Chain A
Amino acid sequence: MNTSVIETSSTGTSALEAARLVLARDIRLALRKRGQLIQPLAFFAIVTTLFPLGISPELSRLRDVAPGVLWVAALLSSLLALEFLFRDDAQDGTLEQHVLSGQSLTWLLFAKTVAHWLLTGLPLAVMAPLAGLSLGVPAAALSGIVVSVAIGSVALSLIGSIGAALTLGVKRSGALLSLLTLPLSMPVLIFGARATELAIRGAGFAPPLYLLGALAVLGITLAPLAAAAAVRISLE
């Protein structure tokens, strides 16, 4: 057996391999700048701490508002993380090279969004139970919270990727980004909070979770296309 035959110095990279490289690069970069990773999580923790201080320390009252608090906080912190999604790549010319790579831009941006979700959405889902406990959520409901936040944040990352790509040409884009992204995210908030609420009550929370999943799937199919169009426009 000749094992060294596949020395493919002249072949192009397959789409799958290209996506894997984009994903690996973003994760490696994020791990080198851990401060940026922690910011949205710290923000999430702080926002959920504000509510008991603003409403009441009684866990029974907090439990009623917990779904809303958790999801609004998740929405805002995912928004905070979005600013990093394309900004650095746009500044150092990496985004331009993605467009000119001969690979499908939609596909590469999808890989970037997956990396973004792994680095921000997934940690959020892991942290949400802690915040839930501090809001009086019973331990039995925590798994429901993890699952709903994990799925919901997929949709949030995807919707957000459109907003982040659209505001690439804008200098101070924070407020505009939220104005563009939040109205589109409202269905995620509705279904996510509903799933959390049902989980807290100990009821079956599968139906809103399915709807959340449907939003995520719709996002996976359409959002990268829109983000790719927006990225091309920002480079025109």
Chain B
Amino acid sequence: MSRLAVSIKTQSLTLRVDTRAYGAKLLNLRDSRAIVPPPTEPMPERRLQAENLHLWRGDRHVLRGVRLCVNSGECLQITGGNGAGKTTLLRTLSGLMYPEEGTITWGGENIRRDLQAFHADLAYIGHEPPLKPDLTAEENLRYWVGVRRKLATHDMNRELGRLGADQWGNRPIRTLSAGQKRRVALAGLLLIAAPLWLLDEPTTNLDAEGQRLVGTLIEEHLARGGLAVAAIHHELTISPAVIRRLELSSK
């Protein structure tokens, strides 16, 4: 067990050296700032707005003129029964689904104009945590987050620790429980450090302490100037002042 951990450590070490070389060569980076943990950086004022969204799935009119607006520091809580279109709305806001009518703007600009730039500002976690069963929690984060931004090991360990997931970081995801997977995915969410969070049922499978933790994480994110849109059954444990609500009716 300990040998395994050591070998992984050395691997991650070479990986880091490697990425530095890449960055220095390709981008000619000279960043002399002290090590700043990503989540504490202030975020610019932003607004996510949707106007008159209509979306059909076959004969089913799922989104019927949805409009919404979320500003920096606000959380939009989407409620509604099963089949009301919560997931569809989130996927539409993320740009994965294409509404037949209506527009979505991010910072005043239609998200379709530069979808890639919009996605760089966005972290989306769907129903299932996007983790590979055959990789360990740490490997998963290294690849998943690493594709988006440079990931420092100490940042990863800090966030895994925050979620209480550090002691199983070396275990393959398939050996973890659903709640443990959720915690790893939430660590990934923090590490991506995007201003806009789109969360589909972020508290599923979490115990009471975990659910409170999700509330705290969202609150901290909002305090930094982030935005969050969450589809959720249970009430979030965050201050009502920053919450907006959107109720989707299933007909």
Note whether A and B contact each other (Cβ less than 8 A). Answer: yes
* Contact residues, B102-150 vs A (CB, 8 A): 116-117, 119-122, 124, 126, 128-135, 139, 142-144, 146-150
CB-CB under 8 A for A236 and B29, given A9-B36, A13-B148, A13-B150:
no
Q: Is the CB of A22 within 8 A of B147?
A: yes
Residue ID in chain B nearest A24 by CB atoms? B143
Q: B83 interface residue, CB < 8 Å from A? A: no
Report Cα–Cα, A33/B150, bound state, in Å. 28
* B31 and A12 contact, CB distance less than 8 A: no
Given A13-B148, A14-B27, A92:B119 Cβ within 8 A: no
From A6, A98, A102, A236, B120 is in contact (CB under 8 Å) with: A102
Contacting chain A: which of B69-77, B90-98, B203-211? B90-98
Q: Is A235 an interface residue (CB 8 A)?
A: yes
CB–CB B22/A108 < 8 A? no
Shortest beta-carbon distance, B35 to chain A, in Å?
5
CB < 8 Å: which of B31, B135, B152 contacts A5?
B31
Whole-angstrom CA separation of A11 from B120 in the bound complex: 11
- Bound Cα distance from A36 to B130, whole angstroms: 22
Number of interface residues of A (CB under 8 A): 39
Q: In the bound complex, how far is the Cα of B32 from the Cα of A5, in angstroms? A: 5
In the complex, the answer to whether B94 meets A100 with C-beta atoms within 8 Å is yes
- Are B129 and A99 closer than 8 Å at their CB atoms? no
Residue pair B35, A7 in contact (C-beta under 8 Å): yes
CB < 8 Å neighbour of B23 from A14, A18, A33: A14
CA distance A221 to B38 in the complex (A): 36
Given contacts A11-B150, A28-B139, whether A6 and B132 have CB atoms under 8 Å apart is: no
B146 touches A13 (CB 8 A): yes
Q: Chain B residues near A108 (CB, 8 Å)?
A: 147
Per the bound structure, the CA–CA distance linking A25 and B139 in Å amounts to 9
* A96 within 8 Å of B (CB atoms): yes
Question: B155 on the interface (CB 8 Å rule)?
Answer: yes
Give residues 89-137 of A contacting B (CB, 8 Å).
92-94, 96-104, 108
Closest to B149 in A: A12
Residue B61 is within 8 A (CB to CB) of chain A in the complex:
no
B contacts with A: majority SS: loop
Query: Interface size (B, Cβ < 8 Å)?
Result: 51
Would you give the shortest CB distance from A102 to chain B, in whole angstroms? 3
Q: From A7, A9, A11, A29, name the one whose CB has the most chain B CB atoms within 10 angstroms.
A: A9
Contact A9 B147 (CB under 8 A): no
A12 and chain B: residue at smallest CB distance: B149
Return the chain B residue nearest A236 by Cβ: B97
CB of A10 within 8 Å of the partner chain: yes
Q: Which of A14, A25, A88, A98 contacts B22 (CB 8 A)?
A: A14
Cα separation A17 to B193 with both chains bound (whole Å): 19
Question: Residue of B at shortest CB range from A91?
Answer: B128
Contacts of A99 in B (CB 8 A): 96, 119
Q: Is the CB of B143 within 8 A of A17?
A: no
The complex places the Cα of A13 from the Cα of B128 at a distance, in Å, of 25
Please give me the 9 A-B residue pairs with the lowest Cβ-Cβ distance, nearest first: A102-B120, A93-B130, A25-B143, A102-B119, A18-B147, A97-B130, A32-B134, A100-B119, A8-B150
Selected A-B contacts with CB under 8 Å, 26 pairs: A5-B32, A6-B30, A9-B36, A9-B37, A10-B38, A10-B193, A11-B149, A12-B120, A13-B148, A16-B22, A17-B19, A21-B142, A25-B139, A29-B135, A33-B134, A92-B128, A92-B133, A93-B128, A93-B130, A94-B132, A97-B124, A97-B144, A100-B95, A100-B122, A101-B147, A103-B116
Identify 12 new A-B residue pairs, CB closer than 8 A, beyond the known A6-B29, A97-B147: A6-B20, A9-B36, A10-B41, A25-B139, A25-B143, A94-B144, A96-B124, A96-B130, A99-B96, A101-B148, A103-B148, A235-B91
